Amino acid sequence: MSAHNPVLLLHGRISNHLQMGKLADYLSHLGWQAHSLSLEPSSGELGLEHWASQIEDYITKTFSPEQSIDLVGFSMGGLAGRHYLQCLGDLGRIQRFISIATPHRGTWTAYLLSHLGCRQMRPNSSFLQTLNQDVEQLAAISCTSIWTPFDVVIFPASASILPVGNSVWVPILWHDCMPFNDKVLKVVAETLME
């Protein structure tokens, strides 16, 4: 039996569980039980609440109620993870939440598309206002936001910093490289060991 909590990995927009495959393999090699699921539809067009309900269903079906778990979300997956934690989940069973390049305060690039998931990622959207007015409840668990100042998808890049917990910046030149980058993988593993 692993000494680590199981970890649920949440991919970003227009992707599936394979986007988190390198991180899953890396953590598994180090002794973690890494889980990931493909959130549908991958565009997020039905909204982040829809993704969060899939996260809730997966956790309920996969883990016993007394099992503590850790969540790691990339980009839009990080926001869906936050909605699960703050609006649907039992914060008592989640020990750590790690977000990677997640637009916690929105991103101006979300104005480029008009479907619901992107509208929810716009700065000051009602979705983000709801999450951010109650963000202090996340102080009950260990939170870390991993971000890059060179992110051109999350604009401004500093919007990836969760206002509670720790933040770690890594010098990576492209948003989509974040879940594959060795530096990010190392930060995730170190954070999960804290």
Q: pLDDT digit string (tens) for 98-122? A: 999 999 999 999 999 999 999 999 9
CATH of the domain at 106: 3.40.50.1820
Asked if residue 180 belongs to a domain, the reply is: yes
Computed over every residue of the chain, the mean pLDDT equals: 96
For the packed helices 76-83 and 48-62, what is the interaxial angle rounded to 10 degrees? 70
Q: Where are the beta strands (DSSP E) in 68-165?
A: 69-74, 94-100, 142-147
Residue 2's pLDDT is what?
A: 67
Asked if residue 48 belongs to a domain, the reply is: yes
Q: Name the residue with tokens 């991919």.
A: 11
Asked if residue 71 belongs to a domain, the reply is: yes
pTM of the model: 0.97
Asked if residue 169 belongs to a domain, the reply is: yes
Domain count, the chain: 1
**Residue range of the domain that includes 117:** 7-192
Asked if residue 121 belongs to a domain, the reply is: yes
